[in-house]
């Protein structure tokens, strides 16, 4: 230590002791003699001297002492006034404002009534507006105020409060706290049935954010990097947030009956290690996956997911659902009456399991999927078929058959043409002249390849057995 540093240390120690004595003296004025205003005025004079001399540590200590003095005296109105006053003083230090806000936030849960609590939160919110160095504190204050509004039944106001805070831009906020805050924004939007805004907010979270990196050391913070603030203890872990996220996504997709996306959300939950380890967790989730796979309209992704689910070994413990998926994979016509008798009990059972019922339109959509499956099966076996015969195979009336067939053609799930006067359905795609010529050329090429292979085999056999062909 240099001589100058030694002199500074010697001078600062008595000054710190003197500051402590002054603060304790003013506390005695306020708490024992009832002279709160005089004590605050005296401390404000000390704070001014320290602030103008740019003494960060001393200013912070005095500011916090004033706030603590108001709290100990239960002078809540004075506390709010001093918070505003101290934050507006000329050349006020950022560190002092941050310490003051953090200290005052500790007293929010100690307020005597709800009105005092709300008033303190609003005061702190006013002080933190536009100040980047207390943006995390402001986000937490807004969250507390939104929770109070929600408990009062003002869900719309709570949602609007939360939407004002763009936590995704906060560099010092931890990853889990950011995700938890955005999920709360999404939940409030869903509660107020603002599905469009819920979708926009949910896109701020990438599913890759929930991947937990194991076996990798955390990178050491470099000089100049933002210091990440530890999240509050009530913030869930990353895997818990993953479950909350996909539960909210299921709520959102149920609104539009997007069964495939609901299935993918349940699949993400199912792939969580904590769910796969406990049968009481994965059985209801796997049941939901099977039902929503069946309810989803046919396409390449739905078919791929269905085949992948059938290969899951855990599905062997649910034979009923294995049969359910098999019936849609097998190219055979499904009889709706018999099918519904076999699976109605399982369908109704979903209402009693975690995740709730499958939706209001689920039973109607299930019948629609069975009809679509049957039409696809018929198209595999028939190039042309009469509407009457198709109706018999589908167990539907002629108008219903034509309606479902037209819907599949419009959605491009099937290629078909209906000759209504003749009552004939053609499942063949009409080809132009170039396509016909190309198909002929391909067929002739294949024929010539077969002839060439046959000649080669004959020549080979001739050479092996030394058989001479008779010249005719």
pLDDT in tens, 73-88: 888 898 899 889 988 8
pLDDT tens, residue by residue, 224-258: 445 778 888 888 888 899 999 999 999 999 888 89
Share of the chain above pLDDT 70, in %: 89
Picking from 88, 107, 128, the residue at the C-terminal end of a domain is 128
In this prediction, residue 253 carries a pLDDT of: 92
pLDDT (tens digit per residue) in 387-402: 889 888 888 888 888 8
25 pLDDT exceeds 50? yes
- What pLDDT, on the 0 to 100 scale, is given for residue 468? 56
Q: Which domain holds residue 299?
A: 257-381
Q: Look at residue 221 and tell me if it is in a domain.
A: no
Report the alpha-carbon distance of residue 161 to residue 150 in Å, rounded: 11
Distance CA 215, CA 229 (A): 23
Q: Starting at the edge strand that comes first in sequence, how are the strands of the sheet with 417-419 ordered? A: 384-386, 424-426, 417-419
443 with 339, same domain: the answer is: no
Average pLDDT, the chain: 84
| Closest C-alpha to 102, from 164, 60, 69 | 60
- Distance, in Å, from the CA atom of 48 to the CA atom of 191, rounded to the nearest integer, reads 49
* pLDDT tens track for 118-170: 999 999 999 998 888 888 999 999 999 999 999 988 999 999 989 888 888 88
Dihedral of the alpha carbons of 359, 363, 366, 368, in degrees to the nearest 10? -110
Residue 296: inside a domain, yes or no?
yes
Distance CA 451, CA 448 (A): 5
The CATH number of the domain holding residue 409 is: 1.10.10.10
Residue 272 shares a structural domain with residue 375? yes
Question: Does 110 share its domain with 38?
Answer: yes
- Tell me, yes or no, whether 452 lies in a domain: yes
Domain count, the chain: 4
pLDDT at residue 262, rounded to an integer:
92
Q: Same structural domain for residues 389 and 319? A: no
Is residue 443 domain-shared with residue 361, that is, in the same domain?
no
């Amino acid at each position: 230590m240099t001589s100058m540093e030694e002199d500074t240390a010697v001078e600062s120690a008595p000054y710190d002791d003197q500051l402590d004595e002054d603060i304790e003296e003013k506390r005695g004025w306020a708490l024992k003699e009832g002279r709160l205003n005089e004590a605050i005025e005296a401390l404000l004079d000390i704070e001014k001297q320290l602030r103008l001399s740019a003494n960060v540590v001393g200013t912070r200590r005095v500011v916090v002492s004033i706030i603590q003095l108001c709290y100990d005296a239960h002078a809540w109105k004075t506390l709010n006034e001093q918070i505003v006053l101290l934050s507006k003083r000329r050349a006020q230090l950022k560190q002092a404002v941050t310490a003051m806000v953090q200290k005052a936030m500790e007293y929010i849960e100690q307020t005597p009534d709800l009105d005092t609590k709300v008033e303190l939160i609003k005061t702190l919110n006013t002080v933190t507006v536009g100040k980047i160095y207390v943006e995390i504190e402001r986000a937490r204050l807004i969250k507390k105020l939104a929770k109070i509004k929600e408990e009062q039944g003002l869900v719309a106001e709570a949602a609007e409060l939360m939407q004002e805070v763009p936590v995704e831009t906060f560099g010092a906020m931890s990853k889990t706290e950011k995700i938890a805050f955005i999920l709360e924004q999404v939940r409030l939007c869903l509660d107020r049935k603002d599905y469009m805004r819920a979708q926009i907010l949910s896109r701020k979270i990438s599913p890759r954010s929930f991947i937990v990196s194991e076996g990798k050391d955390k990178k050491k913070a470099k000089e100049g990097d933002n210091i990440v603030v530890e999240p509050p203890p009530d913030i869930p872990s990353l895997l818990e947030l993953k479950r909350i996220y996909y539960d909210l996504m299921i709520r959102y997709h149920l609104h539009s009956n997007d069964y495939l996306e609901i299935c993918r959300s349940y699949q993400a939950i199912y792939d969580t290690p904590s769910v796969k380890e406990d049968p009481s967790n994965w059985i209801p989730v796997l049941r939901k996956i099977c039902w929503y796979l069946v309810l989803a309209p046919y396409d390449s992704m739905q078919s791929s997911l269905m085949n992948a689910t059938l290969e899951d070994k855990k599905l062997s413990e649910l034979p009923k659902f294995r049969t359910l998926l098999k019936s849609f994979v097998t190219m055979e016509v499904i009889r709706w009456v018999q099918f519904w008798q076999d699976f109605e009990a399982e369908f109704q059972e979903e209402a009693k399991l975690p995740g709730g019922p499958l939706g209001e339109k689920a039973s109607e959509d299930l019948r629609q999927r069975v009809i679509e499956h049957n039409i696809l099966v018929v198209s595999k076996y028939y190039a042309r078929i009469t509407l009457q015969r198709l109706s018999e195979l589908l167990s539907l009336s002629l108008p219903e058959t034509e309606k479902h067939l037209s819907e599949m053609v419009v959605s491009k799930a099937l290629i078909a043409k209906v000759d209504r006067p003749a009552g004939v359905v053609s499942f063949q795609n009409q080809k132009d002249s170039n396509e016909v010529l190309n198909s002929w050329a391909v067929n002739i090429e294949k024929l010539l390849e077969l002839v060439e292979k046959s000649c080669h085999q004959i020549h080979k056999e001739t050479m092996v057995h030394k058989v001479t062909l008779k010249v005719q």
